[in-house]
Structure 1
Amino acid sequence: MSLRSIAASAALILTISSVAGMAAERYNLGRPVTGDDIAAWNIDVSGDGAGLPAGRGSVAEGRALFAEACSACHGDKGQGSAADVLVGGRGTLATAKPIKTIGSFWPYAPTIFDYVNRAMPFNAPQSLTPDQVYSVTAYLLFLNGIVPEDTTLDAASLAKVEMPNRNGFTRDPRPDVAPK
């Protein structure tokens, strides 16, 4: 790239930045981010359960909600349809055709809550209440034979669920990513 091209690119960037700044002032676009804005996006849940919200949900409640909001894509029992299979696959990870499901692959139950809370249902992500997400999570864990049918989950109990593949991952040996 020539010096003239670099100078022209820099001038263009400055012009665009200036125009964008003037437009924001003139049209009152944008605003400072508030703590409430950040809190609304700070919904991550870690494998140990940190970040799980208050709430509770049962397998029975999850069964009804799954039939209503999830089965069209995942099948009536999580067997898959238009979207991924959610049930089964145990013992297949070391085979030529592994089936990665909640029961065969996921190492931590709280991360199921995290995913459902962020991304489901597909047509309306983040529309479920914490109680509904706990319920769907309980039902999915039940379908995979991980919790009994009379289970009710909350933040404390979900964090204690032992997933079948909990020890199926290896730790990252790099010292810059070691757990603290």
Structure 2
Amino acid sequence: MAALKKIVASIGCFTLMGSALAHEQGHFGIGTQATDAEIAGWYIDVAPDGKNMPDGHATVADGEQLYSTACAACHGTKLEGGIGPALVGGEGSLATSKPVKTVGSYWPYATTLFDYIRRAMPFQQPQSLSNDQVYAVTGYILHKNGLLEADAEIDASTIRNVKMPNRDGFYEDDRPDSIAKACYDNCEVD
């Protein structure tokens, strides 16, 4: 029993010393402070209104070529779906018993499509596309949904100005737990 008391006392002593050291250093004494560059690497989301769209540009033709090599294996050669979901079709199906939710029939903002591709695609290697490549693929998908001309140049302005067919198909959710104000700089914490 005496040995157990000594062990407990030793653990308590080390805990107090560790706690005092952590308090003195201002942190737990592990890890490093994130640099501005490291933080910027994670700050890549694009808002529905297009805030935080990166520099870059491409053409629909650039997107067609890239789609065939980086996207078609999952989404089909004609964007009809396969392992991944279909990206075209579904017009007029949302009110039916079997809605087909595609970029052209369901998504409310072209900026959201850009954001999703930039952060999550291609599935096997997310965030591997350059901004120009993301503009290209986004433009090609929008073109195949009849939202951009075949000779369109795609950049932040082009994507912000695309009016998606289902943009007005969503409504504001006024439940208190779902209301969030978008903030990108000097945000107040509630």
Structure 1 counterpart of 2:114? 113
Aligned counterparts of 2:73 and 2:160: Cα–Cα separation in 1: 29
Aligned counterparts of 2:162 and 2:74: Cα–Cα separation in 1: 26
Deviations 1:123-179, CA, capped at 9 Å, x for gaps: 110000000000000000011111111111111111011000010001122467276
Structure 2 counterpart of 1:169? 170
Structure 2 counterpart of 1:60? 61
Range with bigger deviation, 167-176 or 101-110: 167-176
Q: Letter of the aligned partner of 1:76 in structure 2?
A: T
Aligned counterparts of 2:92 and 2:173: Cα–Cα separation in 1: 23
Q: Is it true that 1:35 corresponds to 2:56 in the alignment?
A: no
Q: Gaps spanning 5+ residues in structure 2: where? A: 1-10, 23-27, 183-190
Calculate the TM-score normalised by the size of structure 2. Answer: 0.78
Judged with a 3 Å threshold, the aligned counterparts in structure 2 of structure 1 residues 179 and 39 are, in CA distance, closer, same or farther, namely: closer
Calculate the TM-score normalised by the size of structure 1. Answer: 0.82
Q: Is it true that 1:80 corresponds to 2:81 in the alignment?
A: yes
Q: Letter of the aligned partner of 1:119 in structure 2?
A: A
Aligned counterparts of 2:180 and 2:126: Cα–Cα separation in 1: 32
- Contact (CA 8 Å) 1:172, 1:178: kept in 2 or not? no
Range with bigger deviation, 136-145 or 150-159: 150-159
Q: Is it true that 1:135 corresponds to 2:136 in the alignment?
A: yes
- Secondary structure of the 1:44 match is coil
Q: Gaps spanning 5+ residues in structure 1: where? A: 1-10
Shift of 1:82: 1.1
Aligned counterparts of 2:180 and 2:114: Cα–Cα separation in 1: 25
Aligned counterparts of 2:140 and 2:181: Cα–Cα separation in 1: 31
Structure 2 counterpart of 1:8? none
> Between Structure 1 and Structure 2, how many residues are aligned?
161
Q: Letter of the aligned partner of 1:113 in structure 2?
A: F
Aligned counterparts of 2:172 and 2:180: Cα–Cα separation in 1: 9
- State the structure with more CA Rg: 2
Name segments (4+ residues, structure 1) moved above 6 Å. Answer: none
Aligned counterparts of 1:45 and 1:113: Cα–Cα separation in 2: 8
Deviations 1:31-58, CA, capped at 9 Å, x for gaps: 1111111100000101111011000011
- Secondary structure of the 1:78 match is coil
Deviations 1:91-135, CA, capped at 9 Å, x for gaps: 001100000000000000011000000000011100000000000
